[in-house]
Amino acid sequence: MTQDGRGRPDRSAARGRDPQQTTRDPKTRDKQTDPARSVALEVLRAVRRDDAYANLLLPRLLRERSLDRRDKALATELTYGTARCAGMLDEIIASAAGRPVAEIDGDLLDVLRLGSYQLLRTRIGSHAAVSTSVDLVRARHGMGQAGFVNAVLRKVSQRDEQLWIDTVAPSMADDMVGHLAFTYAHPRWIAEVFLDSLGSIGELQAALAADDERPIVHLVARPGQITAEELALISGGDEGRYSPYCVYLPEGDPGSLEAVRDGFAGVQDEGSQLVALALPRADVGADGGRWLDLCAGPGGKAALLGSLADLDGAHLDAVEVSEHRAALIEKVVDSLPVTVHVADGRDSGLEPGYDRVLVDAPCSGLGSLRRRPEARWRRTPDEIPALVELQTQLLTEALRLVRSGGVVVYSTCSPHPAETTGVIASVLDTVDGVEQIDARPLVAGDAVDPSSFGAGPHVQLWPHRQDTDAMFLAVLRKS
């Protein structure tokens, strides 16, 4: 990000101006609010107030407001960055304000978070960060509230991020996990879950640090429609390290690529591609061509599997319980040998005898927090038991639907042991005639040494190890 001093009025600012400005006192209208910050604030407000998803709302607002390239980049950085570290910012704001954030008006808190993020985690000058935040409040709430925001942000600006960590975070000596969780902007319980899975403080620190970074976009080149080499050439990206269909796109809008608009390529984390690829790579003997994606929404893996099924002469049934999400799947698998079923995967009504079944189970999503910036502050440990029960039921049903000699790939976008190895152990204990096979060669393909994915037989990916989402997968064969 470049040094930014944009509190200055410009013509484009009018496009992002709050309509209420036209009726306010002229003294409050003498400064136009910055368009990039106005968009970021609108998204942050919707995230807090309406449980909106930043990665869905922001792109729509950027299109509607017709921001220029520079303002789009700034709005994106401020929105995702602020949402990602909101919990950490709240502790600092509470210290600076001398009161808990629960006692601060929600709309003002949004501005304080946005301003504090600029002060602590960007190279934006302190004067610009404070003055543009004050402008946002003054335009909507008047001078009194603007004075409060000005006072708090000026206090925040008196220390840099490390000094605030030294002041507010738990000490390393007394609470190392709490200290690392604060430093890398994660709730403490999630840091504890990561530690349970990783087993060492050093790895925990690396995982939290990677999770705190803004990830690059991963594209998937749909097999039979475009190659990764071709996609890399036209997008300016680089071919992936593990998946033969992956392209890394360090910058740029993937929606502007013709290959994406035409459906030849899509946005998909490389870890998700590896999960989907494990299914057709497994040995099932004579493949009858009956493949099943039991939890197909929103359709990324179904599209990749559908493309591979098309090349192999197979057919994929894709099950999704939500009609809306099923419609999204229909859209991405158009012209592929895929039939979409609106049904609960635990009772789909489909006939058994599948050669290959994918259970990409609903989960806490703790493995994709870097791509869902606000999610880490919404999730709670209370949600886990119900998810584990659902995951167990889905995996059990998948094993009923697969034929003898066929395979089931179970995956979650979570490293939580209860959602991963715990579910596998539970099902192996209760379902007869099932064995777990080594997933590592199915993930590695011809790209890397399978042993690089750990001791097996399951695979747990991590952002700090593979630079993918923290996907888990295990492969079960029915005897």
As annotated, the binding site includes: 295-301, 320, 344, 360
**Crossing angle for the helix pair 300-312 and 270-281, to the nearest 10 degrees:** 40
Angstrom distance (rounded) from CA 225 to CA 420 = 34
For residues 136, 141, 146 and 152, what is the CA-based torsion angle, rounded to 10 degrees? -90
Q: Give me 217's structure tokens.
A: 């976009």
Angstrom distance (rounded) from CA 128 to CA 380 = 36
Angstrom distance (rounded) from CA 322 to CA 328 = 10
Report CA-CA distances (Å) from 207 to 136, 224, 286, 301.
35, 35, 41, 25
> Looking at the chain, how many residues does it have?
479
Angstrom distance (rounded) from CA 289 to CA 428 = 26
Angstrom distance (rounded) from CA 11 to CA 132 = 16
- Residue ranges of the binding site for S-adenosyl-L-methionine: 295-301, 320, 344, 360
Backbone φ and ψ for 10, nearest 5 degrees, come out as -145, 170
Report CA-CA distances (Å) from 220 to 9, 225, 237, 245, 292.
41, 11, 12, 5, 20
The dihedral region occupied by 52, where left means phi > 0, alpha psi between -120 and 50, and beta the remainder, is beta
Q: Is 85 a catalytic residue?
A: no
* Terminal C-alpha separation, the chain: 56
Residues 6+ apart with CB under 8 A from 344: 321
DSSP of 251-307: SS-GGG-HHHHTTSEEE--HHHHHHHHHHHHS--SS--SEEEESS-TT-HHHHHHHH
Q: Which residues are designated catalytic?
A: 413
